[in-house]
């Protein structure tokens, strides 16, 4: 019988395998069953992901920075108006537009929500208007968002908005 390094490696591997099997076999089943899942619970995931979008829109409408931050990830960014906005930069833009007298009405319509474990993507038509000193202009935007499920909540990671063609 060969007694070189291969035999020693096989013996060590055999003992490691026996150790792992024994460890798993004796590990309390209730601890394994209670291990947290990274995936969002299936029931209500689509509704909850859409709720993160509407919560973000409500925070933007109200210039609510704590509300905004509660609906986005730490690495949130958005594409809007041909520019990239990171973190609270989008909120700051909306605040400045509010300060100049603009009022926005935004409504999520025709949403499509797709969930895969701890990721979701949402597409929708944002139908609304912009009102300023010159009057009210009805507008629509085609929007999409990517969300991440983290610590029991859906948060927006990325948002993209493009003005829809006039109909």
Dump pLDDT digits (tens) for 33-48: 444 558 988 889 999 9
Query: What is the domain partition of the chain in residue ranges?
Result: 1-35, 45-163
DSSP state of 31: H
CATH architecture of 45-163: Roll (3.10)
Strand partners of residue 135:
132
Give the residue ranges of DSSP H helices in 81-163.
89-99
Coil, strand or helix: which one is 137?
A: strand
Q: pLDDT tens across 46-59, in order?
A: 999 999 999 999 99
- Other CB atoms within a 10 A radius of the CB of residue 154 amount to 29
Instruction: Please state the pTM of the whole predicted model.
Output: 0.76
Helix axes 89-99, 45-61, angle to 10 degrees: 40
- What is the distance of C-alpha 127 from the center of its chain? 22
Least confident stretch, 40-44, 79-83, 142-146: 40-44
Provide the mean pLDDT of the chain: 85
- The Cα 73–Cα 69 span in angstroms is 7
Does pLDDT of 1 surpass 90? no
């Amino acid at each position: 019988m060969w007694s070189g390094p291969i035999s020693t490696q096989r013996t060590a591997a055999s003992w490691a395998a026996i150790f792992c099997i024994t460890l798993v076999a004796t590990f309390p089943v209730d601890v394994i069953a209670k291990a947290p899942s990274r995936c969002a619970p299936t029931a209500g995931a689509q509704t909850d992901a859409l709720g993160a979008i509407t919560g973000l829109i409500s925070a933007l409408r109200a210039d609510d920075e704590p509300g905004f931050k509660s609906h986005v990830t730490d690495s949130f960014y958005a594409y809007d108006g041909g520019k990239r906005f990171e973190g609270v930069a989008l909120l700051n833009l909306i605040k400045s537009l509010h300060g100049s007298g603009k009022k926005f009405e935004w409504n999520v319509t025709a949403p499509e929500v797709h969930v895969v474990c701890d990721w979701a993507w949402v597409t929708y038509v944002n139908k609304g208007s912009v009102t300023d000193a010159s009057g009210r202009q009805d507008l629509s935007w085609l929007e999409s968002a990517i969300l991440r499920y983290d610590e029991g909540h859906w948060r927006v990671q990325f948002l993209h908005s493009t003005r829809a063609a006039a109909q």
